[in-house]
Amino acid sequence: MITAVTGVLMVVMMMLTLDLTEQATSPQAAARASLQQQVEQARRELATRTETLAQLQLRLNTTMNHIFVIPEEDRSGKEVVLLVLSATDGWVARMGDNNPTQVSLGNNVRSTIRQILDGFNPAHDRLVFYVRPSGISRFEDFRNMATNSGFSIGYDTADENRQYLLAPP
* Confidence check: pLDDT of 110 > 60: yes
* Confidence check: pLDDT of 116 > 90: no
CA separation for the pair 38, 30 (Å, rounded): 12
- The residue ranking higher by pLDDT, 100 or 136, is 136
- The DSSP code for 107 is S
Q: What is the mean pLDDT of the chain?
A: 81
φ, ψ for residue 156 (rounded to 5)?
-160, 170
68-166 has CATH 3.40.50.1980 classification: no
* Confidence check: pLDDT of 3 > 80: yes
- The residue ranking higher by pLDDT, 53 or 14, is 53
CA separation for the pair 29, 37 (Å, rounded): 12
Give residue 85's pLDDT: 84
* Confidence check: pLDDT of 75 > 80: no
pLDDT cut 70: percent of the chain above it: 82
pTM exceeds 0.75: no
* Confidence check: pLDDT of 24 > 70: no
Three-state secondary structure call for residue 68: strand
Give residue 129's pLDDT: 86
What integer is the mean pLDDT of 98-102?
A: 74
Tell me: the pLDDT tens digits for 41-66?
A: 999 999 999 999 988 888 777 666 66
Domain boundaries, the chain: 1-64, 68-166
* Sequence-ordered strand ranges (E) for 23-131: 66-69, 79-85, 89-94, 101-104, 125-131
